[in-house]
Structure 1
């Protein structure tokens, strides 16, 4: 029996914060102020272009800001943020940039927030990232036990400066690193030039994360369906570049995550990569995977995690293939596509028939381990605000719940548990 009186310790692995853009000026090196003024002067034209392309819906935007004016201040106001987190039952959070995902009014300088990409001017990109990182460190310091700040890291620039920013962010109290999902015309992430960066991140125990946002929007024209169909693919793409090139073999302490891209795509990808490595007919004709000493699923379980924002029922049904411990729930506060301000209702509709022990892992325990949260300190917060299993519609009698999932749990990764054909000598089927 699981103790039904023990509240859930909930950690959002994907939340957002950022100043109204013009207020970043004090955090920006003065030599970039003129460039910053030019950037600010282009805001209205950028917003108009977003509206033209359908990325911004004027009617929705007006309604969103009118209905949530007070709560949205939690994007940069620490006291309001604490109130919103408490209301959602969220004890701790991992904080990414860009609080405003509708009008981009809180974009980090020079567009290096969620739009961080490898093609930005290296000097402006680093300056904008450092300005946000300085502010974020101050913001998280208001209640460090509840916030793990994600430093922006324009990794495609000068490696020495990048490594220096890792050390500076660590000293400032930030706990993770967001790198561009796209490198555009710069070196891909299998390039050994990045090894000092991976090594520094591993030594600092700062997970490296990609986040959805950047994409080749110039290719889409006004066909927004193309964008939404592949926007989650770009943050995932670095995964196979890093895995197959041996990054996780050379840097076993490196943790790598993918945020706000779901995890529905991972079971099929993992099945495909494992069967290639383990000897499927299609993989035998290719060069040996010399950089890898173990099958891909072992690197997934050791090095990789998924900040599966607004985790869906379909994804929870696949959790034994993905790995329960590899799924980290997120609220996406304060973005409209997230669960705020109805997180408690959302959790009930999503997790009501998931075993309590597994729910605790996905809602908070795994995130606490990955990001190094102070669990005793957060437990005190959870005792005050955290929902009980009964609040999620979960029953004290867990035996029927466990039984209902037994077959899926035993099958797990079916290509490894005997529920699939063995690889060697079988062919492509």
Structure 2
């Protein structure tokens, strides 16, 4: 059951800003078998997690959906991701069915470097995909792998955003960090990338990429929270850059896989020094609404 105090705090934050609700671009809904394995991995503090990580919203799917709706989250994602071959097409089919039964969820798809990636990505685009998820850390692949050339080309042409975990947090991977993304954008300069977690811990470098590439955005997922500040704090000298990029920063939470309450994720954003209500309205709602064409009705 959703905590009434959490509901009240979340709704107070967005209502005080005059918003119709929140749009969260970084939430996870997956087939139960996959979500169970993800939760087991977090429970074991596996090497890609690196620390104790309790799941705050461990519940059946229907309860998780109810929780987001009670919070006033009026748009969210089902960020499925593949970590091995012959997985992405199946996840895309599941996500398509999930979208059909969950109209407030953006139609989500994913991919992995494999010979048929271009075919199933084309199919996902035809089926109405609104956002893709790429996880360079967990997938352990180079985003510039030539097997992904038809994928990036099709996604760039379709102007569909990609939420991409490419920073080296919480644990570095062989292909994480800013340089693979710089190479990717030199090849596909109009990709609509949404850099997950503000690119943590390479915050400054991914801010540079965002400033240099008009189609690149950042999501706030877990950044600025006390949990992350323990090990990968956002550098104070970089805070001054945030107001100038206010139209390209989107709120994300990582729900349900966060080790703290949803209000804390939002509160951490409101407490960033040097930002104002206009910036908060854009980050919590308006930027994502414009990017994904979501009306207020």
Name the TM-score, length of structure 1 as normaliser.
Answer: 0.52
Q: Distance in 1 between matches of 2:197 and 2:251?
A: 10
2:75 corresponding residue in structure 1 = 92
> Which one has a bigger Cα radius of gyration?
1
Alpha-carbon contact 2:194-2:218 (below 8 Å) kept = yes
Q: Quick one: distance in 2 between partners of 1:185 and 1:231?
A: 7
Alignment match of 1:200 (pick from 151, 154, 166): 154
Q: 1:90 to 1:164 in 2, by over 3 A?
A: same
Tell me the SS of whatever aligns to 1:141.
Answer: helix
Q: How far apart in 1 are the matches of 2:217 and 2:132?
A: 14
Q: What do the CA deviations read for 1:54-92 (whole angstroms, capped 9, x no partner)?
A: 95889x75xx58xx55xx22xx33xx3342113333221
2:135 is the alignment partner of 1:138: no
Following superposition, the deviation at residue 181 of structure 1 comes to 1.3
The size of the alignment, in residue pairs, is 271
Partner of 1:170: 125
Aligned-residue CA RMSD in angstroms?
Answer: 4.2
Contact 1:177 1:209 survives alignment (8 Å): yes
* Residue in 2 that maps onto 1:366: 287
Q: Which residue of 2 aligns with 1:157?
A: 114
Structure 1 residue ranges without an equivalent (≥5): 24-39, 98-111, 216-226, 274-295, 378-429
Determine if contact 1:351/1:359 at 8 Å carries over to the other structure: no
Deviation at residue 334 of structure 1 after TM alignment: 0.5
Hey, what does 2:5 align to over in structure 1? none
Equivalent residue for 1:228?
A: 170
Task: Give deviations 1:223-254, integer Å, cap 9, x for gaps.
Answer: xxxx73536982645312213x3420xxx3x2
Does the 8 A contact of 2:224 with 2:268 survive in 1? no
After superposition, what is the alpha-carbon deviation per residue over 1:266-314, rounded to whole angstroms, capped at 9, x for unaligned? 435655x8xxxxxxxxxxxxxxxxxxxxxx8342xx2211122134285
> Could you list the per-position Cα deviations for residues 76-111 of structure 1 after superposition, in whole angstroms to 9, with x for gaps in the alignment?
33xx334211333322112213xxxxxxxxxxxxxx
Are the counterparts in 2 of residues 12 and 90 from structure 1 also a CA contact under 8 Å? yes
- Cα distance, 1:347 vs. partner? 5.4
- The 3 A distance-change label for structure 1 pair 332 and 93 is same
- Dislocated runs of 4+, deviation >6 Å: 183-187
Identify the residue that residue 376 of structure 1 maps to in structure 2.
296
CA distance in 1, matches of 2:219, 2:18: 24
Measured in 2, the distance between the counterparts of 1:188 and 1:375 equals 33
Contact 1:10 1:364 in 2 (8 A): yes
Residue 148 of structure 1: aligned partner: 106
Residue aligned with 1:14, SS: coil
TM-score (norm 2): 0.71
Q: Give, in whole Å, the separation in 2 of the partners of 1:208 and 1:165.
A: 16
User: Does the CA-based 8 Å contact 1:88-1:342 persist in structure 2?
Assistant: no
Q: What is the aligned partner in structure 2 of residue 17 from structure 1? A: 29
Alpha-carbon distance between aligned partners in 2 of 1:173 and 1:143, rounded to the nearest angstrom: 14
State the Cα distance separating 1:322 from its structure 2 match: 6.5
Q: How does 1:157-306 map to 2 (within 5 A)?
A: 157-158=114-115, 161-181=116-136, 189=144, 194-211=148-165, 228=170, 230=172, 234=176, 236-243=178-185, 245-248=186-189, 252=190, 254-262=191-199, 265-268=202-205, 297-299=211-213, 302-306=214-218
Of residues 357, 366, 376 in structure 1, which corresponds to 2:278? 357
C-alpha distance in 1 between matches for 2:254 and 2:44: 21
Cα deviation for residue 171 of structure 1 reads 3.1
Q: Does the 8 Å contact 1:133/1:151 carry over to 2?
A: yes
Preserved contact between residue 26 and residue 255 of structure 2 (Cα < 8 Å): yes
1:151 is paired with a residue whose SS is strand
CA distance in 2, matches of 1:54, 1:189: 21
